[in-house]
């Protein structure tokens, strides 16, 4: 790559905040012969524009020998972040490619069928006469030939080893702070009736550790392969059979990967197994899946730029993802948003740990009533952390008669409820779950937010428990702090924007004390200014005064909660942070 092109490749007509200074620091780091540059830039600082400038410095075809990698990848774990990139006119030269299920077939009678279930996936030897017009294959062909291909991290990892998306000169990963956790999630294998199509054909033994899991995986691969071969050899499959075939292929691949990695004496991965005994579901999880990232990420480029507001510890981050700290530079970008525009308020009502929650949730609900009255003409958001907490808060608010200003969601209508809330001008309070990241609430989209719970990792997760047994308490606190910092950045998106963040869980204050050394200076400045606000008295009538339907009959603002109860881990990282 050529770092000298950074300024010329910056896509905006002018700089905002510290972007120009950031480009200078990034250029220095790249010119210093580092393989990886970590860019720690505050939320709202325009990281996507910096990412575009870095990607634009990749080697071009006229600068390369035939064996040289050219072009760049832009990837992010967040689908919403990729949507923002696709909609930004300044980033129009990033060619976005998504998975097949995001595209519809063009054939007559199949226009409602996703491409991954179309006739080409169902019928053996099917020759599509309009494949050149297929939206998926067209986008894939364009992206594979464009100088910058943009995709989610999931798609990027899944295409490792593909002919269309081989090695490139530069890889840029936006929102990269959770890379280790995402890799662990993608490499986790869940074995239960809904994920193993041949579940009834195998005997599930008692699996008491990774060795027993590896032996069982070998047997399960044989059974899955026989069934998969039968489906592959069929002339035509139903959509259900296509789904089964694809699931089997993915399962076989994942099981073989686990066995190979577990039996490789050079592998740095540690595998843990959750099982309740003979005949029960089994979950196989990796710790520090360095080999997985080597194959899916680090072998895909020559130079890497990883951007995030919350890469809190360079050494720890590098250890977690398999990078050499000596070949990795950290570029720290300061905040340009006035600290007084992003205040934190102490409104703590007690601890939200499981054993104290019954006492604290009613007090948090009463607090929300007071905050609704204070912000009677402004939209707000509650970061409830889990569906269980969100449901109990919403029930209390309804009892208080404040439901006319409350919007909730479950795991099925999450995106629809979010879109509807963003579109309304009514001063609604959105009780949300796992929306601390990649959500732009600039201006009047939201002027206030409440953090209900310190987002510590779930200690009942075997990976978390294993790390704590090994004394990795610094990781434990940094993981929670990353989520808090991400959440605090949702409501202030530019230097002239402003938004209030209320801290309802007293454990958040304890977290700030325990993780002070890991805080970026700009966030420590916010913590140092924490104060207690003046709030109106508890008055449900005042809380509902700003509602478009103060009678409490606003059913359109409320969603069913059954799906949230039965499937509380819809968020991709829920298995890391927990959803209690």
Range picked from 183-187, 273-277, 296-300 for highest mean pLDDT: 296-300
Return d(Cα 295, Cα 288) in angstroms, integer.
14
Closest of 294, 316, 256 to residue 517, by C-alpha: 316
| 83-108 per-position pLDDT tens digit | 989 999 999 999 999 999 999 999 99
Query: Could you tell me what percent of the chain has a pLDDT over 70?
Result: 94
Residue 347 has pLDDT above 50, yes or no: yes
Q: What single string gives the DSSP state of each residue in 349-394?
A: -S--STTTHHHHHHHHHHHHHHHHHHTTTS-EEEE-SSHHHHHHHH
Cα(first)–Cα(last) distance of the chain, in Å?
A: 46
Q: Predicted confidence band at 547 (pLDDT cuts at 50, 70, 90)? A: low
The dihedral through the CA atoms of 200, 575, 276, 566 has a sign that is negative
Query: Could you tell me what percent of the chain has a pLDDT over 90?
Result: 76
Residue 276 has pLDDT above 70, yes or no: yes
Q: Return the ∠ at Cα 571 (arms to 431 and 45), rounded to 5°.
A: 75
| 14-49 per-position pLDDT tens digit | 998 889 999 999 999 999 989 999 999 988 788 999
Q: What is the pLDDT, as a whole number, of residue 243?
A: 92
Asked whether the beta carbons of 302 and 2 are under 8 A apart, the reply is no
Helix (H, G, I), strand (E, B) or coil at 521: helix
| 477-522 per-position pLDDT tens digit | 999 999 999 999 999 988 899 999 999 999 999 999 999 999 999 9
Return d(Cα 66, Cα 211) in angstroms, integer.
45
Instruction: List, in sequence order, every residue forming a beta bridge with 39; answer none if it has no partner.
Output: 307, 331
Helix (H, G, I), strand (E, B) or coil at 117: helix
Q: What is the pLDDT, as a whole number, of residue 565?
A: 31
Determine the average pLDDT of the residues in 130-134.
91
Helix (H, G, I), strand (E, B) or coil at 98: coil
What mean pLDDT value characterizes the chain?
Answer: 90
Determine the average pLDDT of the residues in 204-209.
92
Q: In 10 A of CB 83, how many CB atoms?
A: 13
Closest of 252, 242, 117, 236 to residue 196, by C-alpha: 252
| 561-572 per-position pLDDT tens digit | 333 333 333 433
What are the b/e assignments for 174-204, b being 16+ CB within 10 Å? bbbbbbbbbbbbbbbbbbeeeebbbeeeeeb
Determine the average pLDDT of the residues in 288-292.
80
Q: What is the pLDDT, as a whole number, of residue 463?
A: 87
Asked whether the beta carbons of 212 and 274 are under 8 A apart, the reply is no
Return d(Cα 75, Cα 78) in angstroms, integer.
9
| 407-424 per-position pLDDT tens digit | 999 988 998 999 999 999
| 396-411 per-position pLDDT tens digit | 999 999 888 999 999 8
- Quick one: tokens of 63? 């600068």
Q: What is the pLDDT, as a whole number, of residue 549?
A: 52
Q: Tell me the HSE value of 213 on the side-chain side, using a 13 A CA sphere.
A: 30
Q: Return the ∠ at Cα 260 (arms to 256 and 265), rounded to 5°.
A: 170
**What pTM, to 2 d.p., does this model score?**
0.85
Q: What is the DSSP letter of 32?
A: T
Choose between 387 and 550: higher pLDDT: 387
Determine the average pLDDT of the residues in 101-121.
93
Distance of CA 21 to the CA centre of its chain: 28
Q: Predicted confidence band at 546 (pLDDT cuts at 50, 70, 90)? A: low
The H or E element spanning position 303 is strand 301-308
């Amino acid at each position: 790559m050529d770092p000298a092109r950074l300024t010329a490749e910056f896509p905006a007509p002018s700089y905002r905040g510290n972007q120009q200074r950031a480009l200078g620091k990034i250029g220095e780091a790249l010119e210093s012969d580092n393989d990886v540059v970590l860019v720690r830039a505050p939320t709202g600082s325009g990281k996507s524009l910096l990412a575009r400038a870095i990607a634009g410095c990749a080697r071009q075809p006229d600068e390369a020998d035939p064996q040289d990698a050219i072009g760049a990848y832009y990837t992010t774990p967040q689908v919403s972040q990729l949507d923002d990139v696709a909609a930004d006119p300044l980033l129009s030269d990033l060619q976005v490619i998504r998975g097949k299920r995001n595209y519809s077939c063009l054939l007559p009678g199949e226009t409602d069928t996703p491409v991954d279930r179309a006739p080409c996936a169902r019928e053996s030897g099917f020759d599509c006469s309009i494949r050149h017009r297929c939206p998926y294959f067209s986008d894939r062909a364009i992206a594979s030939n464009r100088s910058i291909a943009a995709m989610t991290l999931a798609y990027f990892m899944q295409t490792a080893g593909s002919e269309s998306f081989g090695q490139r000169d530069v890889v840029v990963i936006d929102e990269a702070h959770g890379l280790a956790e995402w890799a662990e999630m993608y490499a986790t294998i869940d074995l239960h009736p809904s994920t193993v199509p041949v579940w009834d054909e195998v005997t599930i033994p008692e699996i008491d550790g990774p060795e027993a899991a590896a032996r069982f995986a070998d047997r399960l691969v044989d059974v899955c392969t026989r069934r998969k071969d039968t489906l592959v050899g069929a002339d035509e499959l139903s959509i259900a059979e296509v789904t089964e075939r694809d699931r089997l292929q993915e399962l076989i691949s994942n099981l073989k990967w686990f066995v190979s990695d577990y039996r490789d004496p050079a592998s740095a991965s540690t595998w843990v197994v959750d099982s309740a005994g003979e005949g029960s579901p089994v979950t196989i999880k990796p710790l520090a899946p360095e080999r997985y990232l080597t194959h899916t990420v680090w072998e895909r480029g020559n130079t890497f730029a990883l951007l995030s507001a919350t890469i809190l510890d360079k050494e720890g981050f590098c250890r977690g993802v398999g990078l050499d700290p000596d070949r990795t530079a950290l570029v720290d970008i300061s905040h340009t948003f006035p600290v007084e525009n992003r205040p934190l308020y102490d409104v703590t009502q007690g601890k939200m740990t499981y054993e104290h929650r019954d006492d604290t949730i009613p007090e948090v609900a009463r607090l929300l009533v007071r905050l609704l009255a204070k912000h009677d003409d402004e939209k707000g958001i509650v970061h409830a952390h889990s569906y269980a907490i969100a449901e109990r808060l919403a029930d209390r608010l309804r009892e208080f008669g404040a439901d006319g200003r409350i919007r909730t969601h479950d795991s099925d209508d999450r995106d629809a409820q979010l879109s509807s809330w963003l579109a309304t001008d009514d001063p609604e309070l959105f009780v949300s779950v796992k929306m601390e990241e990649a959500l732009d609430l600039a201006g009047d989209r939201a002027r206030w937010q409440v953090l209900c719970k310190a987002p510590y990792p779930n200690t009942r997760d075997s990976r978390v428990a294993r790390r704590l047994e090994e004394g990795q308490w610094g990781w434990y606190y940094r993981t929670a702090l990353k989520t808090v910092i991400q959440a605090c950045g949702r409501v202030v998106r530019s230097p002239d924007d402003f938004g209030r963040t209320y801290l309802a869980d007293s454990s958040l204050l304890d977290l700030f004390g325990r993780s002070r050394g890991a805080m970026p200076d700009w966030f420590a400045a916010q913590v140092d200014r924490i104060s207690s606000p003046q709030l109106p008295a508890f008055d449900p009538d005042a809380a509902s005064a700003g509602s478009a339907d103060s009678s409490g009959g606003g059913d359109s603002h409320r969603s069913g909660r059954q799906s949230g109860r039965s499937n509380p881990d819809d968020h991709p990282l829920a298995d890391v942070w927990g959803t209690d």
